[in-house]
Amino acid sequence: MSRRRQIYEGKAKILYEGPEPGTIIQYFKDDATAFNAEKKGTINGKGVINNRISEHIFTLLGHIGIPSHFIRRLNMREQLVKQVEIVPIEVIVRNVAAGSLSKRLGIEEGTPLPHTLLEYCYKDDALGDPLVAEEHIACFGWATQEEMQDISAMAIRINDFMAGMFAGIGIKLVDFKLEFGRLFDGDFSRIILADEISPDGCRLWDIETNEKLDKDRFRRDLGGEAEAYQEVARRMGLFPEDGISEVLDLDSERKKRGK
């Protein structure tokens, strides 16, 4: 890994220069942060699981015509993606009230929303990713109106697909965060899905018990976060039956050997 040029280190991922121009390698770390990085920790094996979950979801979304930056998974912790210019907006898709929405508007967590709600936050750590309206996005030129139409249409399709997929494995998709990027072709660019989709950026509750199977276990000190991520991957059928611990053992072996 040290041979490659590091482009950026984020909270949960490191980006390296890819093997060909226009490509990037995303390395998934075990590091976890919450509350704008005020709380820091690690979730054992998270990087391996998120790499696999995100690969799976992006691949399926590709099959239903959602373009994304995903090219292929390279190994346990890395995937090759297309280089894009990230739109500085986090798109939050909500089906059930939770988190900041519940706090802001006093709506009890778990209340189903009458219809899917899209929210936008301006990506700026120093400002704490503030909630913004589409008018702010247009006013400050963060994305054009045309780009926002593509983004919102894709977000709704992604939600419909993911809500169904998770319901099929006994998981309620409460809310999640998406990021999009501009893929340039000469002077033109088009919007594609970027970043990752994993339990780091989704609220996933067991359909029967409402048990949390996502990063809220870490944010709220509930414990069992590594097991929750594994449970999601297991229900998605992403690792051979009972094989997750073997894969994670192999990963920690390799890490110890500094590979």
Binding residues vs ligand UDP (CB under 6 A)? 90, 92, 98-101, 129, 175-177, 201-203, 215
Report, in Å, the least distance between residue 42 CB and ligand UDP. 17
Phi then psi dihedrals of residue 151, to 5 deg: -65, -50
Query: Which residues lie closer than 8 Å to 112 by C-beta, 6 or more apart?
Result: 95, 96, 97
Round the CA-based radius of gyration of the chain to a whole number and report it: 18
Report, in Å, the least distance between residue 204 CB and ligand UDP. 8
Measured between alpha carbons, how far is 53 from 114 in angstroms, rounded to an integer?
Answer: 28
Nearer to ligand UDP, 71 or 117 (CB): 117
Nearer to ligand UDP, 92 or 158 (CB): 92
Find the helix or strand (DSSP H, E) in which 8 lies: strand 6-9
Nearer to ligand UDP, 158 or 247 (CB): 158
Nearest partner of 143 among 158, 121, 161, judged by Cα: 121
Nearer to ligand UDP, 74 or 117 (CB): 117
Report, in Å, the least distance between residue 161 CB and ligand UDP. 17
Report, in Å, the least distance between residue 245 CB and ligand UDP. 26
Query: Which residues lie closer than 8 Å to 201 by C-beta, 6 or more apart?
Result: 176, 177, 178, 195, 215
Report, in Å, the least distance between residue 209 CB and ligand UDP. 19
Nearer to ligand UDP, 129 or 251 (CB): 129
Secondary structure of residue 243 in the 3-state scheme: coil
Place of tokens 């297309």: 82
Find the helix or strand (DSSP H, E) in which 204 lies: strand 202-206
Report, in Å, the least distance between residue 179 CB and ligand UDP. 9
Degrees to nearest 5, angle at CA 218 with 44 and 112: 125
Nearer to ligand UDP, 129 or 231 (CB): 129
Measured between alpha carbons, how far is 81 from 227 in angstroms, rounded to an integer?
Answer: 28
Sign of the alpha-carbon torsion through 135, 58, 234, 115:
positive
Report, in Å, the least distance between residue 230 CB and ligand UDP. 18
Q: Report the residue closest to ligand UDP, judged by CB.
A: 99
Nearer to ligand UDP, 167 or 250 (CB): 167
Cβ pair 27, 77 in contact under 8 A: yes
